[in-house]
Amino acid sequence: MDLEARAEVIARNTEEVLTPDELRALLEREARPRAYVGFEPSGRLTVGHMVLARKMRELQEAGCELTVFLADWHAWINDKLGGDRDRIAAAGRYMKEAFVALGVDGAAARWRWAHELTDHAGYWQRVLTIAKGTSVARTKRAMTVLGRSEEETSLDTAKLFYPAMQAADIFELSADIALSGLDQRRAHVLAREAAHAAHWPVPVAVHTPLISSLRGGGRMDPAAGALEHKMSKSDPFSAILLPSPKELIEERIRGAFCPAREVEGNPVVEIARYLLFPARGGLTVPREARFGGPLRFESPDEFLAAWRAGGLHPQDLKGAVGPALAELAAPVAAHFERHPGTLADWARAAGPAPQG
């Protein structure tokens, strides 16, 4: 794969790359760039994570050395799973298997835990170097990654360390590329600013789109720190968790928010656009002959044009997206059927799952 092809694969179906010129320069000087993506082990993956999983695979295909960072300390700081380290560790083990089931090359990837970094004094020197160059106001603006909007009186001091730690992780892992959903953009910009100030190598930031909540409503403006609209594992009824049976996936899609003609904030349209088209190369919408017969879209642009023009009914779209998404998610269910132990450990640690 030549440089142009590698750059195209890395940038394909992303919301932004900071910056395309820096990515090209990186690929010119590095045959095997080091890419990093970090996750709090705090619950089950959702179908929204499938967008990132695809990009993780594409980074590997483009010749990158991928590090998947399981941020157990960050989940503890963020009070995930009650701050119970054993439960967080069980979530991390499940998360690793789920990404492998989604096609990430687990043997080629490096799987690192935050506690491996926090054991070293040099890590904390890096954290403090970043913190000393960052105002408290700037730190609070970057704290939207916590998924919180706490008042100052209720915010424990440990959470103020979170943005500097997330930035430090990138440098401690020697990452050339930082991958995330668009919700973590502020943390990556903070890392890039810190790199410029400290004369460290500046990481390229690659941000994938977010899938909206199945419930609809709320705001999702990552630039403004508003993420209420994001599909979230903390609200299982806004999401489709992995693994889920085919019947549940189709049921959730049938009941999902899907206003006609609307694109922004429409989870069914986003699933088609960001998951099904990249994976399947097109979308077939079955329709009865009396409604015009089946439709076939070969590109997202063709699909979006028809949708905006009102040429596709929401129920018809849901009838296409539900089964196609279930097929795309089937390898996760199959994996955990063959290897139930890790998911069972996670279920025991997490407690009863909500139904519905």
280: Cβ contacts below 8 Å, ≥ 6 apart = 324, 328
C-alpha 220/C-alpha 217 separation (Å) is 9
Cβ contact 1:62 at 8 Å? yes
Quick: pLDDT tens for 245-282.
Answer: 999 999 999 999 999 999 999 999 999 999 999 999 99
Using alpha carbons, select from 236, 216, 316 the residue that is nearest to residue 47: 236
C-alpha 264/C-alpha 286 separation (Å) is 24
C-alpha 273/C-alpha 106 separation (Å) is 27
C-alpha 36/C-alpha 175 separation (Å) is 6
Rg, C-alpha atoms of the chain: 20
In the prediction, which pLDDT does 356 show?
39
User: What torsion do the CA atoms of 112, 115, 116, 122 make, to the nearest 10 degrees?
Assistant: 130
Using alpha carbons, select from 353, 321, 327 the residue that is nearest to residue 255: 321
Q: Mind listing the domains of the chain with CATH numbers?
A: 3-209 (3.40.50.620), 232-350 (1.10.240.10)
In the prediction, which pLDDT does 236 show?
67
In the prediction, which pLDDT does 348 show?
78
In the prediction, which pLDDT does 39 show?
96
In the prediction, which pLDDT does 289 show?
86
Per-residue CA distances from 29 to 18, 195, 277 (Å): 17, 19, 32
Spans of the chain below 70 pLDDT: 144-153, 218-228, 233-234, 236, 351-356
In the prediction, which pLDDT does 346 show?
77
- Which two tokens mark 327? 């097929």
Cβ contact 7:1 at 8 Å? no
